């Protein structure tokens, strides 16, 4: 990374904000970018740095939103309209650049997503073992009092302050709450809390996969394994919230200014330019027009003018 991009990437990582690091790996004249140029793309589609002109940027923005959603890196090859075909392969994406400037460019897009955050409640050997193992798994760990935005919460107080920890995690919107307790005691604790059906579904009483665990370390392994299984196979949101549907232009601009970071960091919506067919990211600066009562977004003012004049 260039020095400025590396510093910005560190700031975003420390703030747990998702972004994409884009690096130009090959450029063919007359494109304005050069190999080694790089940028970060935020979830709202804004670009900080340089990876080419407006048409290349438009393609990069759209591809970056996809990498934020699925977490996969991609090699983006942007070709002029009259270029020879280039085979698509796993991990590569080819788009046609309708701009008149021509030139081809290859850009490597790497999504950088916040680590899963695990809140651990309790001062017990099991809580300590969960904290240690979660760190080894490259999770971030926080206390029960700071569980907002956590992927999962592990309540391992073994009878101490369990109801308070469970209620705090539920109110914070944590998707999975692992209660370390026997079947009998877990039922007593949860029945006394008068939980709704939705709240009860988010709690795993007697948490952990059944591996015959006995020691604190084995129990921690069982609990963390269940959390990983739910992230990878069960649909538990580990990194980025699901993308919202595209908002109208004025509303999108207002959302960018008013929404909290957790929502603003959701990958922005996209639309197809009705003139050139390019996929564009919807944002406050995206050229926009209303024709016959329908919103349309464009890659550039030229396409907007051509469409609205028709």
Q: How far apart are CA 51 and CA 32, in angstroms?
A: 8
> Please, are residues 165 and 144 in contact by the beta-carbon 8 Å criterion?
yes
Give the model's confidence band at 32: pLDDT under 50 very low, under 70 low, under 90 confident, else very high: confident
Structure tokens at 256: 């960018």
- Alpha-carbon distance values, 264 to 220, 241, 255, 275 (Å): 34, 10, 8, 29
Q: How far apart are CA 188 and CA 182, in angstroms?
A: 10
113-122: pLDDT as tens digits: 999 999 999 9
- Alpha-carbon distance values, 105 to 33, 59, 89, 195 (Å): 8, 11, 17, 55
Give the model's confidence band at 169: pLDDT under 50 very low, under 70 low, under 90 confident, else very high: very high
pLDDT at 211: 95
* Mean local confidence (pLDDT), 132-141: 95
> Which residues lie across from 97 on neighbouring strands?
80
Check whether 126 has a pLDDT greater than 50.
yes
Choose the weakest-confidence range: 28-42, 189-203, 208-222. Answer: 28-42
Check whether 202 has a pLDDT greater than 60.
yes
pLDDT at 87: 59
Check whether 205 has a pLDDT greater than 70.
yes
Instruction: Write down the mean pLDDT value for the chain.
Output: 85
39-59: pLDDT as tens digits: 999 999 899 999 988 778 888
Q: For tokens 């939103």, what's the residue?
A: 65
* Mean local confidence (pLDDT), 160-180: 95
pLDDT at 284: 76
Check whether 167 has a pLDDT greater than 60.
yes
Domains of the chain: 3-112 (no CATH), 117-232 (3.40.50.720), 249-309 (no CATH)
Strand-pair category, 203-204 with 176-179: parallel
Buried b (16+ CB within 10 A) or exposed e, 203-238: bbbebbeeeebeebbebbbbbbbbbbebbeeeebeb
Choose the weakest-confidence range: 57-71, 162-176, 178-192, 239-253. Answer: 239-253
pLDDT at 190: 94
51-105: pLDDT as tens digits: 988 778 888 999 999 999 888 999 998 887 665 555 567 788 888 766 656 678 8
Which of 271-276's residues contact partners 24+ apart within 8 Å by CB, and which partners?
Answer: 271/246, 271/295, 271/296, 271/297, 273/297, 273/298, 273/299, 273/303, 274/298, 274/307, 275/303, 275/306, 275/307, 276/98, 276/303
pTM, to two decimals:
0.68
């Amino acid at each position: 990374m260039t020095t400025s991009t590396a510093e910005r990437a560190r700031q975003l990582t420390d703030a747990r904000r998702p972004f994409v690091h884009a690096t130009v790996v090959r450029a063919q004249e007359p494109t304005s970018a050069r190999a080694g140029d790089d940028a970060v793309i935020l979830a709202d589609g804004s670009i900080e740095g340089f990876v080419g002109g407006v048409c290349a940027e438009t393609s990069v923005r759209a591809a970056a939103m996809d990498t934020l959603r699925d977490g996969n890196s991609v090699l983006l090859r942007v070709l002029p309209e009259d270029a020879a075909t280039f085979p698509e392969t796993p991990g590569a994406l080819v788009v046609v650049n309708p701009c008149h400037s021509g030139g081809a460019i290859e850009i490597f897009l790497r999504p950088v997503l916040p680590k899963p955050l695990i809140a651990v409640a309790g001062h017990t050997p099991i809580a300590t073992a969960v904290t240690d193992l979660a760190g080894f798994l490259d999770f971030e760990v926080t206390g029960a009092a700071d569980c907002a935005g956590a992927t999962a919460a592990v309540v391992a107080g073994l009878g101490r302050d369990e109801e308070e920890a469970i209620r705090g995690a539920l109110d914070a919107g944590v998707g999975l709450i692992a209660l370390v307790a026997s079947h009998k005691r877990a039922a007593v604790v949860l029945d006394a809390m008068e939980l709704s059906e939705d709240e009860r579904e988010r709690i795993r009483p007697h948490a952990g996969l059944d591996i015959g665990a006995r020691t604190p370390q084995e129990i921690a392994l069982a609990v963390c394994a269940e959390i990983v299984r739910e992230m990878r196979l069960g649909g538990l949101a580990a990194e980025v919230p699901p993308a919202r549907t595209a908002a109208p232009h004025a509303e999108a601009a207002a959302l960018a200014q008013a929404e909290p970071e957790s929502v603003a960091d959701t990958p922005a919506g996209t639309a197809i330019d009705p003139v050139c067919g390019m996929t564009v990211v919807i944002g406050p600066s995206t050229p926009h027009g209303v024709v016959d009562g329908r919103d349309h977004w464009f890659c550039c003012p030229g396409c907007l003018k051509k469409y609205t004049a028709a």
